[in-house]
Amino acid sequence: MCEAVAVIVGASGGIGGALCKTLNQRARFDQVIELNRQSLDLCDEASIALAAKALPARGVQLIVNAVGFLHDDMQFPEKNLGYLNSTSLAYNFAVNAIGPALLMKHFFPLLPRDDRAVFANLSARVGSIEDNRLGGWYGYRSSKAALNQLVRTAAIELARTHPHAICVALHPGTVATKLSEPFVNKGQSIFSPSKAAQHLLTVIENLEPEDTGNFYDWRGNSIPW
């Protein structure tokens, strides 16, 4: 019998690191593999392919992509159309949508064909088109909306060959990480990375094959596209 393996992409981030720690504490998997920027670059398909080849060919029952981009020292979420530029938009899509799509391309074959497995991409509620009431944040919103469509489309394809596999987009809530720190309002509900990891893993554990291709929040509630 092969070992049960979990793979966390973005293990050096706040949520990714907490997912690794929580999974190791729960001892649900025989091995928790941590992939970070030194392991692969979501903007470089060759590095994604190499990382996939280095993983076990069997027994990968959980893959979580916890990588995401919202801002850095050079780029900040756009307040209005006047802040848009092609370089910033392209980078948002490269990290938040194109990279995860290539990750699914190369990592889906690692999932067992005849056993339950989950591939979860961390998305964001602001990627919901129906739920958009405030505007702004063009690059982040649109790249996460693109991610959601890619997850939905990939899940349909995955189900044809892996009927017990589940591919979903998950919203972790507002988490105390470097990504969200500048945007937390006073009095706003915010989770520690540890609590967010617990919430996400509970949602993942309760998923059924018929849930594949959907978008859920940290409570397990469906989010409109």
Q: What is the mean pLDDT of residues 200-221?
A: 97
* 92 occurs within a structural domain: yes
For residue range 152-191, what is the model confidence (pLDDT) as tens digits?
A: 999 999 999 999 999 999 999 989 887 766 676 655 678 8
What is residue 64's predicted lDDT score, i.e. its pLDDT? Answer: 98
Q: Give the CATH number, domain containing residue 190.
A: 3.40.50.720
- Average pLDDT rounded to a whole number, residues 194-223: 97
In a domain, 164, yes or no: yes
Would residue 223 count as lying in a domain? no
Q: Look at 139 and 3; give whichever has higher pLDDT.
A: 139
Could you give the number of structural domains in the chain?
1
Whether residue 225 is contained in a domain is answered as no
pLDDT band at 205 (very low <50, low <70, confident <90, very high): very high
Determine the structural domain holding residue 96 and report its residue range.
5-217
Per-residue pLDDT, 189? 76
Provide the whole-model pTM.
0.94
Q: Kindly state the average pLDDT of the residues 193-216.
A: 97
Q: Has residue 222 been placed in a domain?
A: no
Q: What is the pLDDT of residue 186?
A: 59
Distance from C-alpha of 67 to C-alpha of 162, rounded to nearest angstrom: 24
Helices marked H in the chain = 14-26, 45-54, 86-93, 99-107, 138-161, 193-206
User: Is 37 part of any domain?
Assistant: yes
Average pLDDT over residues 87-114: 97
The answer to the question of residue 224 being in a domain is: no
Q: What is the mean pLDDT of the chain?
A: 94
Starting from the edge strand earliest in sequence, which strands make up the sheet with 117-122, in order? 31-35, 5-9, 60-65, 117-122, 165-171, 215-217
